[in-house]
A and B are shown apart, each in its own frame.
Chain A
Amino acid sequence: MQNERQLLNSFLSGEYSEETEMLFRQYEDNLYNLCCKLTPNKADADDLYQQTWLRVIQKVSMFSQLSLKNWLYTVCINIYRDNFRKSKRRQNIMANGIGQELYEHTIASATDNVSAENKAIDQMMKKLLVSKINEMPDKHRLPLILYYFEGLDYKESANVLKIPIGTVKSRLNTAKRMLREEMEKGNHV
């Protein structure tokens, strides 16, 4: 069984085996998911996804990490920082003002019993939480996405973001404190 580095090199030399295809398949969903979390719309996500794979092929000699997944994330975040951070990424998020509207809509679509109402409230709160995350600066948003949404641990997150583990932890704590404050401001908590 060839390792990821060897498979990538084989691909570069024109060999396209089933193992290489499996390697790409293994990570492309994760990568695309991250792209969607980072960017405001599908078109940007597609663009970021393709640019990431191309950059990986062009810079394969720089691939020295053990996991291709982490390296893909690193490349993706670098491209995002270079090209996408200035674009509007707030288009698909929920603004504070629509919180009440969402709440009413959720309630109306739910059943009349109390548990359904609680469930709807819970869903609404989570969606609001996502919207608050999307409003956060990248400094705190990226650790949250990698740790909670992509399932990376502290060390992997630190590797991807190229910051110390302690900094990842402190930024996560700060991010959670900010979220709590934001939610309290809107009386959602």
Chain B
Amino acid sequence: MFDIEKGLQEINTGRDMPGEALRQETRRMMRHAAEGRTKAAKKSFVWSYRAATGILLAILLLFAVFPRTGYCAAYYTIDINPSISVEVDRDDRVIAVHPENEDAAELLMSLNIVGMQFKEAFKAIVQAAVANNYLEQNGHVLVAHFGNTGGISEQEIQRIVREEANDTVSVLMLNGNKADFEKAKHEGAQAGIDLLKNNGKAKGLSSQDVDQLIRLFEENTKKSGQEKNNGNGDNADENKKSNNGKKTEPEESHGNTGTPQNQNTNEPDGTEENDSNGNNGENTDNGKKS
């Protein structure tokens, strides 16, 4: 009987060997392949280098053409009155400014703050507000930041206001998120005031204080609109400024429209004359409480 295992182990099928010609031919082909591979590798390296350089240049170009400033990372609203909303990029650099009322439109005509850091832009706005008598003693500044991270600090805001205006101006800084801002804009509301309504208590303000502040800002905004509608000639413009000033000094706000005394309302000691106008006592209180 034939043993398969034994048969397999004993099978000697003969060792086939390549002929010398085949050996040499194969060796020649191998050398040729090796040279081709080396050249291809070198070429590949050169092209890889070129491709990497090209990609790098393209990225740099993209950053140059579409700088990071193009993306709105957060919003600010500044209510003095004037009311201004500002879009900033992730570096807190201003990329767009929107006046929220007529006073703001007028104020911004003389300002070019796009491209500035928000801190600098805010300083410029406060300077302009002071110069145009929008912000006087016992005035109010409401700054709201709508973004997930970063943003100017309340201390910084206070420092700027203190330096550019005076110590009697009260400053309130609120923080919200972008959705809050966009929702308020969608509803046609003022985002900063909206945030004050919702978050004022969290800042330690009593309900009464919040209500008074809101009333103050809203009234000022209404006045600004009315004066715009009623405004005629240079005196109207002057009056508008005076009345805006009254938003921060409410007792000065009524009855002076178009009168020469308005020029004096800018003076700190013009308060008495304005008190004689009578009907703004409530606003005065509001301002002081704030």
Contact residues in B for A11 (Cβ distance below 8 Å): 30, 34
Stretch at the interface among B16-24, B132-140, B164-172, B244-252: B16-24
Chain A CB within 8 A of B187 CB:
no
26 contacts between A and B (CB under 8 A): A11-B30, A12-B37, A12-B38, A13-B38, A14-B38, A28-B23, A28-B26, A32-B17, A32-B18, A33-B15, A33-B16, A33-B17, A37-B13, A49-B22, A49-B26, A50-B25, A50-B26, A54-B30, A54-B33, A57-B34, A130-B11, A148-B8, A176-B5, A183-B4, A188-B2, A189-B2
With A148-B9, A148-B11 known as contacts, the answer to whether A179 contacts B4 (CB < 8 A) is yes
Question: Assuming A32-B17, A53-B30, A189-B1, what are 17 further A-B pairs, CB within 8 angstroms?
Answer: A11-B30, A14-B38, A24-B27, A28-B18, A32-B16, A36-B16, A45-B16, A50-B26, A53-B29, A58-B37, A125-B2, A125-B7, A126-B10, A130-B13, A149-B11, A176-B8, A183-B4
Taking the closest CB of chain B, its distance from the CB of A178, in whole angstroms, is 10
- In the complex, are the beta carbons of B7 and A46 less than 8 A apart? no
Chain B CB within 8 A of A180 CB:
yes
- In the complex, are the beta carbons of B7 and A129 less than 8 A apart? yes
Chain B CB within 8 A of A138 CB:
no
Chain B CB within 8 A of A144 CB:
yes
As a 0/1 sequence over residues 1 to 40 of chain A, the CB contacts with chain B under 8 angstroms (1 = contact) are 0000000000111101000000010001100110111000
Which single residue of chain A is at the shortest CB-CB distance from B21? A46
C-alpha gap A125/B6 in the complex (Å):
12
C-alpha gap A53/B26 in the complex (Å):
7
Which single residue of chain B is at the shortest CB-CB distance from A28? B18
Q: Classify the interface of chain B: helix, strand, loop or mixed.
A: helix
C-alpha gap A159/B11 in the complex (Å):
24
Which single residue of chain B is at the shortest CB-CB distance from A52? B26
Contact residues in B for A144 (Cβ distance below 8 Å): 8
C-alpha gap A125/B17 in the complex (Å):
25
Chain A CB within 8 A of B186 CB:
no
Which single residue of chain B is at the shortest CB-CB distance from A55? B33
C-alpha gap A144/B5 in the complex (Å):
11
- In the complex, are the beta carbons of B26 and A129 less than 8 A apart? no
Residues of chain B at the chain A interface (Cβ within 8 Å) = 1-2, 4-5, 7-11, 13, 15-18, 22-23, 25-27, 29-31, 33-35, 37-38
Q: What is the number of residues of chain A that contact chain B, defined by CB distance less than 8 Å?
A: 34
Taking the closest CB of chain B, its distance from the CB of A18, in whole angstroms, is 13
C-alpha gap A33/B31 in the complex (Å):
23
C-alpha gap A29/B33 in the complex (Å):
21
Which single residue of chain B is at the shortest CB-CB distance from A148? B8
Contact residues in B for A149 (Cβ distance below 8 Å): 11, 13
Which single residue of chain B is at the shortest CB-CB distance from A172? B8
C-alpha gap A125/B38 in the complex (Å):
52
Contact residues in B for A130 (Cβ distance below 8 Å): 11, 13
Contact residues in B for A183 (Cβ distance below 8 Å): 2, 4
- In the complex, are the beta carbons of B34 and A12 less than 8 A apart? yes
- In the complex, are the beta carbons of B34 and A14 less than 8 A apart? yes
- In the complex, are the beta carbons of A29 and B18 less than 8 A apart? yes
Taking the closest CB of chain A, its distance from the CB of B258, in whole angstroms, is 90
Taking the closest CB of chain A, its distance from the CB of B93, in whole angstroms, is 49
C-alpha gap A72/B119 in the complex (Å):
71
Taking the closest CB of chain B, its distance from the CB of A76, in whole angstroms, is 13
- In the complex, are the beta carbons of A129 and B8 less than 8 A apart? yes
- In the complex, are the beta carbons of A57 and B17 less than 8 A apart? no
Taking the closest CB of chain A, its distance from the CB of B17, in whole angstroms, is 5
Taking the closest CB of chain A, its distance from the CB of B278, in whole angstroms, is 94
